[in-house]
């Protein structure tokens, strides 16, 4: 399957944002108490009338001011025109130093939406205040795993179409196994952004990103512009290398760059999403963003560069009491280990030839719903073609025929053990809010202080090609999406 054979899916329906539902303040009422004195009734009546008139005028003025502020605030939450700034920008801001748009795509792995509130993040906050943010987070594709999502971000394709259907999987025809160090082009379908840019005769640079080391089309992972993954490289060195690209002659600066950080995913798996280690990791990511901003400002290009800060998925806490054991299904059906390609949070099973997948699903469902399997109701198994369509997880032979959706925070294992573990995981249904991540965009074509509804990350490919003014490859994103989020050129 290649990009020419990809079917374009219909437009997505972003989650609408509910507007504020404040009530109008009650009309002020003042009780005027008359005093017993020598004032004549006529004078008293006059004073009362003037007082009522003045109070009414003040109340009307206050109500008018409140109404103006309220409706201005409420309108800021409308789906595609939401903003917090009063000065509406109608067109993209002109470049001052660069001669063409440059996009820097940054991934903070496992940055769950909401982490930005765990600790002061002044640098991320600066990007938000002066840019555009998905107000309730970026929606990952299913499965909410690192490699499928990173490659969806740069291809605009769901995993079934770009081929990276899991972090680890088998080719059912050849029996070859894909791992996160597999760089053969046969695995990586679609056209990633660095290839699109290179195909147009432009320069791209990648400082780590799944798939970036794979030669495809005009992209051959050029020396000095394509870093081979090495998780031991300090984050500071990664940022400084990106900054050095802006020291090149303007005509040689790559128009598209990627930058990748493993945190806070690394800590999330070890301690879950609520540990102080997460807070420290988020603070360090903010520090790296500050280092980047400072370096771009020093070179006079910060306002010219489009920065897209995203994550690939969220994180949820897991613990031993939330376990489902496949061996507990034995009275109904035995699931041998060699049938299972992945356990959790995505259970995938490929029975051998001669064993009916539908029979396996029927027997597993009977067992799980019997009430006799511990946490059985926390796992639902499907033939892949019967999965909810919104998951887009069927149209590829690399996806095993049986898929199990695990409840949020639960884990599937083969056999009971005495191992004790509490940590964090991702890979669950992308409908879970805990799987959401961040989308923050800052640059000439993004309105300052704007909030937009959540959207799936397959939309980012078209967004980048639109900013760079290059023709993209067929993908699952919506062609009109960029028009709803970026400012048109003047």
Catalytic residues: 146
**Rounded CA gap, 318 and 37, in Å?**
77
Residue 408 contacts residue 432 (beta carbons within 8 Å):
yes
Residue 103 CA to its chain's centroid (Å): 17
Q: Six-digit token pair at 51?
A: 């007082």
**Rounded CA gap, 357 and 382, in Å?**
9
41: left (phi > 0), else alpha (psi -120 to 50), else beta?
alpha
Residue 479 CA to its chain's centroid (Å): 19
Residues in the chain: 490
88: left (phi > 0), else alpha (psi -120 to 50), else beta?
beta
In this structure, the number of other CB atoms found within 10 A of the CB of residue 24 comes to 9
**Rounded CA gap, 133 and 118, in Å?**
18
- The contacts of residue 270 (CB under 8 Å, 6+ apart) are 277, 423, 424
In this structure, the number of other CB atoms found within 10 A of the CB of residue 238 comes to 20
């Amino acid at each position: 399957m290649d990009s020419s054979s990809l079917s374009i899916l219909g437009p997505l329906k972003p989650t609408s944002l509910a507007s504020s539902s404040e009530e109008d303040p009650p009309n002020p009422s003042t009780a005027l108490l008359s005093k017993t004195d020598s004032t004549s009734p006529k004078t008293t009546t006059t004073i009362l009338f003037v007082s009522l008139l003045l109070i009414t005028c003040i109340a009307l003025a206050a109500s008018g001011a409140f109404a103006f502020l309220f409706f201005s605030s409420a309108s800021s939450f409308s789906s595609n025109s939401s903003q917090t700034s009063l000065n509406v920008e109608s067109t993209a801001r002109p470049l001052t130093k660069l001669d063409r748009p440059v996009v820097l795509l940054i991934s903070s792995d496992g940055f769950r939406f909401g982490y930005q509130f765990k600790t002061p993040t002044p640098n991320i906050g600066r990007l938000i205040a002066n840019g555009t943010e998905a107000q309730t987070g970026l929606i990952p594709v299913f499965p909410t795993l690192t490699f499928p999502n990173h490659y969806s971000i740069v291809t605009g394709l769901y995993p079934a179409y770009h081929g990276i259907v899991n972090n680890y999987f088998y080719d059912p025809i050849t029996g070859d196994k894909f791992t996160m160090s597999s760089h053969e082009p046969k695995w990586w379908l679609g056209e990633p952004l660095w290839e699109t840019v290179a195909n147009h005769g432009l320069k791209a640079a990648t400082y780590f990103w799944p798939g970036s080391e794979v030669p495809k089309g005009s992209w051959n992972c050029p020396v000095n512009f394509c870093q081979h993954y090495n998780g031991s490289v300090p984050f500071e060195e990664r940022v400084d290398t990106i900054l050095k690209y802006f020291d090149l002659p303007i005509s040689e600066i790559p128009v598209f760059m990627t930058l990748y950080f493993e945190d806070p995913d690394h800590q999330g798996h070890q301690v879950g999403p609520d540990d102080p280690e997460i807070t420290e990791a988020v603070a360090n990511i903010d520090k790296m963003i500050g280092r980047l901003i400072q370096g771009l400002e020093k070179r006079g290009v910060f306002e010219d560069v489009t920065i897209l800060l995203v994550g690939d998925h969220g994180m949820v806490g897991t613990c031993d009491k939330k376990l489902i054991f496949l061996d507990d299904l034995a009275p109904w059906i035995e699931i041998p280990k060699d049938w299972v390609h992945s356990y959790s949070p995505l259970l995938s099973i490929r029975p051998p030839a001669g064993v009916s997948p539908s029979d396996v699903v029927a027997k597993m469902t009977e067992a799980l719903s019997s009430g006799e399997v511990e946490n059985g109701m926390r796992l639902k198994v499907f033939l892949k073609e019967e999965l909810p369509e919104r998951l887009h997880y069927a149209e590829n032979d690399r996806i095993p025929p049986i898929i199990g959706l695990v409840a949020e925070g639960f884990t599937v294992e083969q056999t009971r053990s005495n191992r004790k573990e509490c940590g964090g995981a991702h890979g669950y249904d992308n409908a879970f809010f805990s799987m959401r991540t961040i989308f923050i965009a800052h640059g000439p074509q993004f309105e300052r202080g704007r909030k937009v509804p959540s959207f799936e990350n397959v939309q980012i490919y078209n967004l980048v090609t639109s900013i760079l003014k290059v023709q993209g490859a067929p993908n699952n994103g919506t062609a009109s999406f960029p028009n709803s989020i970026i400012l048109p050129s003047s």
